[in-house]
Amino acid sequence: MDDRVILRVGAKILIPFILLFALYVQFHGDYGPGGGFQAGVIFAAGFVLYGLIYGLGNVKRVLPPQAVYICSALGVLLFAGVGYVTMALGGVFLDYGVLAHDPEHGQHYGILLVELGVLITVFGVMVAVFYAFAGRGRVET
């Protein structure tokens, strides 16, 4: 794809905004539509676009497969970890109210962490599946 100047330049301009939009969707999920699932997919789409335009080898240098696998497990761990922390603090599993003195603030922290876990797992899984499909039976350069 060395000769596709418009695609390369266009992708370079778009990718930062895609990643920023994903973060907006993530942290604005409390007030408007959006949340971890959508944000994770959009964040992954930024990297998938980079991989499509600049090649699988380049995107793997930016984001090694190992890091992606760790991400996909880390999100689930974070989600379940929040549940265990709430248990340790005297609540029931995933009862975020005990995370802060004011239960409402606790709910805020809990939802923030849990949505972050969803984002990390969805992002990791989407990119890892893309790597798995795109890298099959192909020589990496």
Name the residues that contact another protein, by CB under 8 A: 25, 29-35, 37-38, 41-42, 44-45, 48, 52, 72-73, 75-76, 79-80, 83, 93-94, 96, 103-105, 107-108, 110-111, 114-115, 117-118, 121-122, 124-126, 128-130, 132-134, 136-137, 139-140
Place of tokens 């930062």: 16
Write down the least CB distance from residue 1 to another protein, Å. 14
The whole-angstrom distance between residue 72's C-alpha and the CA centroid of its chain comes to 9
63 vs 72 by CB, closer to another protein? 72
Write down the least CB distance from residue 103 to another protein, Å. 8
Tell me if 43 sits within 8 A of 17, measured CB to CB.
no
Between 103-134 and 5-27, two packed helices, what is the crossing angle to 10 degrees? Answer: 150
Residue type at position 5: V
88 vs 139 by CB, closer to another protein? 139
62 vs 93 by CB, closer to another protein? 93
Tell me if 79 sits within 8 A of 118, measured CB to CB.
yes
Write down the least CB distance from residue 131 to another protein, Å. 9
Write down the least CB distance from residue 2 to another protein, Å. 19
Q: What is the largest CA-CA distance in the chain?
A: 61
**What whole-number distance in Å separates Cα of residue 129 and Cα of residue 141?**
19
